[in-house]
């Protein structure tokens, strides 16, 4: 194409060849091309990415674009170009359509009508959408320029808040040296608005490049601009005009017309930084936490009227609550001595008393007698503020304590079931074997008291140090057998059983089905530690080993998706110390006296005497005894005893002495035998459940069980009953008849070898449809009702004689 242009202007052949040689050298120096790199997309290939030419004044040059259609349909587009190019460019067509897979050439003419630097864009629209930059320099063919200048931008797009950076290349063509050459730099916008950037005075003694940088004018808006660099030499301008795009910095773009992106980016970075800091701090806190637990606060009970306040979830500020109805399915509090086992149990009992629930405690050490006095322990009181308590909330609880001296003593449970009151039976005078008898006796009395069913919790029975009932600690195990029976049956009567023990591992297997709430405090028992590790994992074990006093692992199937969590139990409101032996003895003496007076009043009532006043004074004395006001009790006794004696003198009779009611050993043995029978029934039911679960597991797995392969004549191989069931409906009948016919049944043989007993369900099956139906029943148990009907039909089958009749 260059050759055609030269031949049309022969008189300029020599100077043009000289000019072309220098341009070729210059082009190689810059590693540039008049065409640029091709543009390729999924839909098309455009042969060039720019038009960069220099032609002589008066020349007409033919140039073109080659376009290849890569679409699966016709490629349609049109083109336009900048106004600045209309003087020198003309296209043969303004729109074009290219068939699928075809290539087309779009020709255009460049006419050097007027000396100057023409810059702009050729824009393709439609299926082909591209903007091609154009830079055409028209030179005077009579003017032999001594230098050629060009601009090379450091990038195609510039940010308004930055600087215009480019390299000015000056290529010297003649040996003549130019001194004080004047360069000017002007910006032109698309609408020909100009901005003068500056000028330079340089000496040109050889070819060189200089780097230039100008700040953009404040009034310049975004869009397409041209940098015109001009060198005036002997009154002839040597100019180059180069296009670029001016844009706003991404961070200064305004969203919604008012919000700069940098503010949004700053906000996002601040949020990310904050989340990162939070994550790192939280990770550090979690690492330093003593208690590892997966906690879902939404699944835990919240503050509700009637719910028990237990304390705080460990290492959090969240309160922990308990629905009293959960205690109807019984509870166990375990832990080593000094780990807070008694405190946690007594916190639950305090909450029960505060909610008007009766409590009866069987206490081997008389430790629970401290509940009858308010807390005065300064160390315990110091914990109150942490749990939202005030010292003024420390209190004693209304109740009584009685010494059990004979294991066969009959206890009238109903008499001691007073809402909001605690009755403590001290067993510290009994031997382990006697404690067994007493516990068995108490449970028997409850069963014989004709308790009524209740939907709500009305009584909690606390068995402290219950592990002493086990044989390894000196007990016979019979008392524990009765407790186990109580755990199975008491819930329907609104009675909850609480077991407090140093260890759980030795009997947890027997009671796990009947106890739902467990609080495990710090322990050193190897059996308990292994149980916790096996059931809940190493993390819970380590947390429990390191647990502080008063912090325990709490488990209830209804809370936290049945996963354990740790509770820091609140401080108790009552005294941390048990009553002294002198005070316990006073309770025993006054209880004996009041019991005797009550018995005498009952006898006087049978003598038809008015005993209303006596009963009222007796009730007042009992109330005062519950508050530990012995002095007032003594004052009432000084008035009541003589008056009762006087009534007996009037009658001329002597009252009968109240004797301690004891149960016969035969009755206790009988109740233990009943407990054993109850347990045997329970064990049978549990065994049935286990067997049923095994059968269900077998049913579930029989289809998927991998068996010895069965290969058919067509090469198909099945390795499980499921594969056979899936393949059989699509099996060709000829193949089926080959394996199942009058002479053999390969499927029956295969099932007999791999699933013995199940082959009976397909005996005699000859067709494919029957086989599909029979295989569906393999693994299923025959329905009991169906078996029964068949038996009944067999029994009712008429005899031959009956048929004849």
Taking only the tens place, the pLDDT of each residue in 453-477 is 888 999 999 998 887 776 666 666 6
What's the pLDDT band for 53 if we cut at 50, 70, 90? confident
What's the pLDDT band for 165 if we cut at 50, 70, 90? very high
What's the pLDDT band for 715 if we cut at 50, 70, 90? confident
Residue 710 sits at φ, ψ, to 5 deg, of -115, 120
- Is the CATH code 3.40.1160.10 the one for domain 1-144? no
Cβ-Cβ contacts under 8 Å for 688 (sequence gap 6 or more): none
Nearest to 85 by CA among 156, 168, 155, 190: 190
Q: What is the pLDDT of residues 611-670, one digit of tens each?
A: 899 999 999 999 999 988 999 999 999 999 999 999 999 888 888 888 777 777 777 777
Mean pLDDT in the chain?
A: 83
What share of the chain in percent tops pLDDT 70?
87
Query: Helices then strands (H, E): number in the chain?
Result: 20, 33
Nearest to 721 by CA among 710, 732, 713: 710
Nearest to 120 by CA among 238, 246, 226, 240: 226
Fold of 297-569: Rossmann fold (3.40.50)
Contact (CB, 8 A) for 583 and 628: yes
Nearest to 350 by CA among 387, 384, 381, 309: 309
- Please list the alpha-helical segments (H only) found in 100-150: none
Q: What is the pLDDT of residues 131-163, one digit of tens each?
A: 998 888 887 766 677 888 889 998 888 998 889
Residues in the chain: 805
- Please list the alpha-helical segments (H only) found in 410-505: 432-448, 478-489
Residue recorded with tokens 């004074």: 617
Q: What is the pLDDT of residues 80-113, one digit of tens each?
A: 988 888 888 988 888 999 999 899 999 899 998 8
Query: Residue 449 in 3-state DSSP?
Result: coil
C-alpha 376/C-alpha 382 separation (Å) is 11
Q: What is the pLDDT of residues 745-795, one digit of tens each?
A: 988 888 888 888 788 888 888 888 888 888 888 766 554 433 443 444 444
Query: Residue 423 in 3-state DSSP?
Result: strand
C-alpha 503/C-alpha 487 separation (Å) is 18
Q: What is the pLDDT of residues 378-393, one digit of tens each?
A: 999 999 999 999 999 9
C-alpha 631/C-alpha 58 separation (Å) is 135
CA angle 307, 514, 308 (to 5 degrees): 10
C-alpha 643/C-alpha 193 separation (Å) is 125
Contact (CB, 8 A) for 152 and 30: yes
Cβ-Cβ contacts under 8 Å for 624 (sequence gap 6 or more): 632, 633, 636
Spatial strand order of the sheet with 208-215 comes to 147-153, 163-172, 208-215
The pLDDT score that the predictor gives to residue 7 is: 35
Contact (CB, 8 A) for 520 and 540: no
**b/e code 271-291 from CB counts within 10 Å (16+ = b):** eeeeeeeeeeeeeeeeeeeeb
Spatial strand order of the sheet with 130-139 comes to 51-56, 130-139, 116-126, 75-81, 95-98
What's the pLDDT band for 510 if we cut at 50, 70, 90? low
Residue recorded with tokens 């109903």: 414
H or E, element range at 118: strand 116-126
C-alpha 795/C-alpha 802 separation (Å) is 14
Contact (CB, 8 A) for 594 and 403: no
Higher pLDDT, 706 or 14: 706
Nearest to 441 by CA among 194, 668, 206: 668
Tokens of 104: 């087309």
CA angle 30, 35, 36 (to 5 degrees): 60
Tokens of 22: 């220098």
C-alpha 683/C-alpha 695 separation (Å) is 18
What's the pLDDT band for 168 if we cut at 50, 70, 90? very high
Residue 772 sits at φ, ψ, to 5 deg, of -60, -45
Nearest to 206 by CA among 174, 238, 243: 174
- Strands 178-189 vs 194-204: parallel, antiparallel or unpaired: antiparallel
Cα dist from 536 to 523, 539, 696, whole Å: 15, 8, 26
What share of the chain in percent tops pLDDT 90?
35
């Amino acid at each position: 194409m260059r050759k055609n242009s030269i031949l049309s202007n022969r008189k300029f052949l020599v100077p043009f060849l000289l000019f072309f040689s220098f341009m070729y050298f210059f082009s190689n120096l810059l590693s540039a091309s008049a065409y640029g790199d091709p543009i390729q997309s999924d839909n098309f290939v455009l042969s060039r990415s720019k038009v960069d030419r220099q032609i002589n004044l008066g020349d007409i040059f033919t140039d073109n674009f080659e376009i290849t259609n890569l679409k699966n349909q016709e490629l349609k587009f049109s083109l336009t170009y900048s106004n600045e190019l209309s003087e020198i460019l003309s296209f043969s067509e303004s729109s074009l359509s290219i068939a699928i897979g075809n290539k087309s050439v779009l020709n255009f003419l460049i006419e050097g009508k007027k000396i100057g630097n023409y810059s702009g864009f050729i824009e393709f629209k439609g299926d082909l959408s591209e903007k091609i930059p154009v830079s055409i320099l028209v030179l005077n063919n009579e003017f032999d320029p001594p230098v050629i200048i060009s601009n090379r931008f450091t990038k195609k797009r510039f940010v308004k808040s930055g600087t215009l950076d480019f390299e000015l290349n000056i290529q010297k063509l003649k040996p003549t040296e130019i001194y004080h050459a004047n360069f000017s730099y002007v910006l032109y916008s698309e609408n020909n608005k100009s901005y003068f950037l500056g000028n330079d005075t340089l000496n040109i003694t050889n070819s060189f490049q200089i780097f230039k940088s100008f700040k953009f004018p404040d009034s310049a808006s975004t869009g397409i601009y041209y940098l015109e660099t001009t060198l005036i030499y002997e009154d002839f301008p040597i100019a180059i005009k180069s296009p670029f795009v001016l844009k706003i910095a991404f961070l200064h773009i305004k969203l919604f017309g008012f919000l700069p992106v940098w503010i949004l980016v700053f906000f996002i970075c601040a949020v990310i930084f904050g989340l990162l800091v939070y994550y790192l701090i939280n990770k550090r806190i979690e690492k330093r936490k003593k208690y590892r637990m997966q906690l879902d606060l939404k699944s835990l009970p919240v503050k509700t009227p009637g719910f028990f306040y237990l304390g705080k979830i460990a290492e959090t500020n969240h309160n922990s609550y308990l629905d009293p109805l959960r205690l109807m399915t019984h509870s166990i509090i375990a832990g080593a001595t000094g780990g807070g086992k008694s405190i946690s149990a007594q916190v639950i009992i305090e909450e029960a008393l505060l909610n008007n629930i009766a409590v009866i405690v069987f206490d081997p050490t008389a430790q629970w007698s401290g509940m009858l006095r308010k807390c005065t322990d300064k160390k315990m009181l110091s914990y109150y503020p942490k749990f939202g308590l005030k010292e003024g909330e420390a209190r004693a609880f209304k109740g009584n304590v009685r010494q059990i001296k004979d294991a066969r003593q009959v206890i009238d449970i109903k008499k001691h079931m007073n809402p909001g009151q605690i009755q403590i039976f001290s067993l510290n005078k009994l031997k382990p074997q006697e404690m067994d008898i007493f516990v068995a006796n108490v449970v028997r009395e409850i069963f014989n008291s004709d308790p009524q069913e209740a939907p709500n919790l009305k009584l909690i029975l606390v068995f402290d140090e219950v592990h002493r009932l086990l044989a390894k600690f000196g007990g016979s195990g019979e008392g524990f057998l009765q407790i186990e029976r109580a755990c199975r049956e008491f819930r329907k009567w609104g009675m909850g059983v609480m077991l407090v023990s140093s260890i759980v591992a030795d009997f947890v297997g027997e009671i796990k089905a009947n106890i739902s709430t467990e609080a495990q405090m710090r322990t050193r028992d190897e059996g308990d530690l292994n149980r916790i590790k096996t059931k809940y994992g190493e993390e819970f074990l380590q947390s429990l080993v390191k647990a502080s006093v008063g912090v325990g692992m709490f488990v209830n199937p209804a809370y936290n998706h049945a996963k354990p969590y740790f509770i820091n139990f609140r401080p108790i409101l009552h005294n941390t110390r048990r009553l002294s032996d002198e005070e316990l003895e006073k309770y025993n003496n006054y209880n004996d006296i009041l019991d005797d007076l009550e018995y005498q009043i009952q006898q006087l009532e049978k003598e038809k005497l008015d005993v209303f006043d006596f009963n009222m004074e007796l009730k007042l004395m009992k109330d005062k005894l519950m508050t530990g006001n012995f002095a007032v009790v003594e004052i009432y006794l000084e008035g009541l005893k003589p008056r009762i004696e006087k009534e007996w003198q009037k009658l001329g009779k002597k009252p009968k002495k109240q004797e301690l009611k004891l149960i016969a050993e035969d009755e206790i043995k009988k109740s233990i035998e009943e407990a054993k029978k109850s347990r045997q029934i329970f064990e049978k039911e549990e065994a049935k459940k286990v067997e049923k679960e095994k059968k269900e597991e077998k049913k579930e797995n029989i289809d998927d069980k991998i068996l010895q392969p069965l290969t058919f004549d067509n090469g198909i191989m099945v390795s499980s009953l499921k594969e056979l069931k899936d393949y059989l409906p699509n099996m060709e009948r000829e193949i089926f008849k080959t394996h199942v016919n009058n002479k053999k049944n390969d499927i029956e043989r295969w099932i007999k070898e791999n699933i013995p007993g199940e082959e009976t369900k397909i005996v005699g099956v000859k067709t494919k449809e029957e086989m599909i139906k029979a295989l569906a029943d393999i693994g299923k148990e025959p329905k009991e009702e169906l078996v029964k009907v068949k038996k009944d039909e067999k029994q009712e089958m008429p005899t031959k004689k009956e048929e004849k009749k």
